[in-house]
Amino acid sequence: MTVLLDSAMGTELARRGFELRAPRWGARAIEDAPHLVRAIHAETIGVGAQVVVTASFGLGERDTQLAAASVALARDAGAERIAGSIGPADPSSPPAQRRAHLLALGEALVRGGCDVLFAETHTTVGGAREALEVLRPLGRPVWVSLACGTGGLTLGGNGLRVAFEADAVFVGCTEHVGLEPALARLAPHNATLGVRPSLARTTDAGFDPSGAHEHDVVQSVLRCAERFDLAYAGGCCGTTPAFVASLAHALSS
Ligand SMILES: [Zn+2]
């Protein structure tokens, strides 16, 4: 059985009129629009999401109170299982600073009461491994997600025939046609796999949200669930609660 995760937070906030801007982008909403965050969580739970990912992607090292608050918002919305989202540290910052960023946010999410730590959207294998090294000692299961292109490499160009010291490895924030090539490389080395495709097409100019159809993305996830015995599936950028509903329907039929 594939466990269902929720859909995107950042792009869904934007679709509902919340302005995504630096610093923190969508994670600004934890403080400035908590009702919206709670409503999006509650809607995805209502259509079948079994794991809710916190709105903390985009927080920095000093945002520990907001990180803990993001777990409370998920809990208030009725989440039974909460994955605390931690984005990659700035790769151009020194290693000690990157580790401090990951550790501060990981500790805050654990303090807030998350069930799983989710190191999300790593574009390099090295970045993912570094996050796992820092987060594993914190006493929660740790999931990692790799953002991939369509040819089975990470967006940073790394190969994926790699064993990760993670409780689950996701191909996330990836165009749906990129899921299978990435999973095929990960599968021999990693027992527990998940996907969180974007409802978008990756172009030279970035994400083209008009480029993928929900039906095709759901079909891709279904194929992956069968071929790789996926433990987890949900949605990333551009996906909505309606996508979770379609996925729930498809996975259960
Ligand atoms: Zn994404």
Residues 207, 139: Cα–Cα separation, whole Å: 35
What does the pLDDT read at residue 104? 98
> Distance from the CA of 173 to the center of ligand 1, in angstroms?
4
Looking at every residue in the chain, the average pLDDT score rounds to: 94
Higher per-residue pLDDT: 253 or 12: 12
The pLDDT tens digits of the residues spanning 28-83 come to 999 999 999 999 999 999 999 999 999 999 999 999 999 999 999 999 999 999 99
Strand partners, 122: 146
The pLDDT tens digits of the residues spanning 204-241 come to 565 666 667 899 999 999 999 999 999 999 999 999 99
Q: Report the CATH number that the domain containing residue 233 is assigned in CATH.
A: 3.20.20.330
Nearest CA among 186, 129, 111, 119 for reference residue 152: 186
Please report where in the chains the tokens 């989202």 appear, as a residue.
85
Residue 201 has pLDDT above 90, yes or no: no
The pLDDT tens digits of the residues spanning 101-147 come to 999 999 999 999 999 999 999 999 999 999 999 999 999 999 999 99
Residue 200 has pLDDT above 80, yes or no: no
What does the pLDDT read at residue 109? 98
Beta carbons of 232 and 197 less than 8 angstroms apart: no
What does the pLDDT read at residue 205? 60
For residue 20, name the pLDDT band (cuts at 50, 70, 90).
confident
Nearest CA among 243, 33, 149, 66 for reference residue 86: 66
> Distance from the CA of 35 to the center of ligand 1, in angstroms?
22
Contact partners, residue 250, CB within 8 Å, separation at least 6: 218, 219, 221, 222
> Distance from the CA of 15 to the center of ligand 1, in angstroms?
14
> Distance from the CA of 189 to the center of ligand 1, in angstroms?
24
> Distance from the CA of 201 to the center of ligand 1, in angstroms?
11
What does the pLDDT read at residue 253? 83
Residues 193, 166: Cα–Cα separation, whole Å: 10
> Distance from the CA of 196 to the center of ligand 1, in angstroms?
8
Beta carbons of 186 and 212 less than 8 angstroms apart: no
* Domain region containing 208: 3-252
> Distance from the CA of 143 to the center of ligand 1, in angstroms?
16
**Cα within 13 Å of Cα(5), Cβ side:** 29
> Distance from the CA of 186 to the center of ligand 1, in angstroms?
20
Residue 155 has pLDDT above 70, yes or no: yes
Beta carbons of 124 and 160 less than 8 angstroms apart: no
Cα 56 to the chain's mean position, in Å?
11
What does the pLDDT read at residue 91? 86
> Distance from the CA of 205 to the center of ligand 1, in angstroms?
15
| Side chain identity at residue 132, one-letter code | L
> Distance from the CA of 8 to the center of ligand 1, in angstroms?
7
> Distance from the CA of 137 to the center of ligand 1, in angstroms?
27
What does the pLDDT read at residue 204? 58
State how many domains the chain has: 1
Contact partners, residue 43, CB within 8 Å, separation at least 6: 241
The pLDDT tens digits of the residues spanning 158-186 come to 999 999 999 999 999 999 999 999 999 99
> Distance from the CA of 253 to the center of ligand 1, in angstroms?
27
> Distance from the CA of 128 to the center of ligand 1, in angstroms?
16
What does the pLDDT read at residue 211? 67
- In this structure, the chain runs to a length of 253
Q: pTM here?
A: 0.95
Residue 4 has pLDDT above 80, yes or no: yes
